[in-house]
Structure 1
């Protein structure tokens, strides 16, 4: 068996794994205004699980154990699973899953951008975030491209500076949550 055939056999994230998380969410009886102590922990764990799978792909690519095409295919496979429509559960959970998926989109496009390697290395990260905020409504694709560049540069080892301006609620804020998850997962990986 050729190396490239062996690479294709590896699945970094499965639909069963995602479905298991969705089942955990259902069983959590999560409610946004729940005073009984229900937390967002299950959603944080879902996010971490997906991001760690993506970082596993990045690690293999960085170690030259995987071609760029196969790494992009692996990230695309993860995207197809975790960005698919989830059957309605209840309003609170549905809103959290949509937010989670937006955050995952930020992380996933960052991984793709990093693997491709053709991203802006000159513009300051806060400037890219500001541009994303400014273009979010009129040109969401440009905004997402800015965020993917931020994430790619984080994946390349550039530290994320403190953002000293307000990031309004919206897609950019959710995409940045995906970048924050990458930063946290990388820090966790470095501790091991």
Structure 2
């Protein structure tokens, strides 16, 4: 199986979190210097995901290889992390929640399970309504389709939806993930390097 993201790579991020002096400061804007590690670890996983979907678009890997690679990454990244302290644990959970949406997006993209004519903002708003109604499966599915559109090259303006969705919600964390996908793609990706390793 092609491996775009290894257990060792995830463990390195977890160790960086353990060594950080991060504390949640309710009065601060943003996460502060010690909190950058959470943004970086999320971005690193999404970069690997974008490489999978990008190589699929380029035709250098098959749909099956892409789907298997995404599944392998999910098993690493979404596994329960050993507790550290309340603040760090909250942030790790937040990163994992954002990544759940990113994985859903990649899976939707690989399966071709999205409509290119739909608007990302509309899907996100529908997802927020579904979450409010308690239909988490529907919310999850809609966020996946929204993310697939970003992976397919559609532009996304998160500012248009942020003010309309509850800040402490699955959809809000999912929008963080979508934002990171858009930022990673905008930054350009080098598809010439090979996956980390190939296992029989």
Q: In the TM superposition, what whole-angstrom CA distance separates every residue of 1:124-151 from its partner, at most 9, and x where no partner exists?
A: 3222111111111411110011111111
Shift of 1:24: 0.2
2:114 aligned with 1:119, yes or no?
yes
The one of 121, 137, 140 aligned to 2:136: 140
TM-score by length of structure 1 reads 0.89
Residue 178 of structure 1 is matched in structure 2 by: 177
User: Does residue 1:88 correspond to 2:88, yes or no?
Assistant: no
Contact 2:98 2:175 survives alignment (8 Å): yes
Q: Deviations over 1:142-178 (max 9, x none)?
A: 0011111111011111111452542212100001111
Matched, 1:47 2:42: yes
Distance across 1 between alignment mates of 2:137 and 2:107: 15
DSSP-derived class of the 1:113 partner:
helix
1:101 aligns with 2:96: yes
Question: Structure 2 length as normaliser, TM-score?
Answer: 0.85
Aligned in 2, Cα 1:191/1:76: closer, same or farther, shift over 3 Å? closer
| RMSD of Structure 2 on Structure 1 (CA) | 1.9
Report runs of 4+ in structure 1 exceeding 4 Å deviation. none
Does the alignment pair 1:163 with 2:153? no
Unaligned runs of 5+ in 1: 1-7
1:32 aligns with 2:28: no
Q: How many residues align?
A: 183
1:118 deviates by: 2.0
Post-superposition offset of 1:103: 0.3
The answer to which structure, 1 or 2, has the higher relative contact order (CA under 8 A, 6+ apart) is: 2
Query: Following the alignment from structure 2 to structure 1, what is the Cα–Cα distance between the partners of residues 13 and 75?
Result: 16
Aligned pair partner of 2:8 in 1, 6, 16:
16
CA distance in 2 between partners of 1:19 and 1:154 (Å):
28
Displacement after TM superposition at 1:121 (Å) = 2.9
Task: Give the secondary structure class of the aligned counterpart of 2:3.
Answer: coil
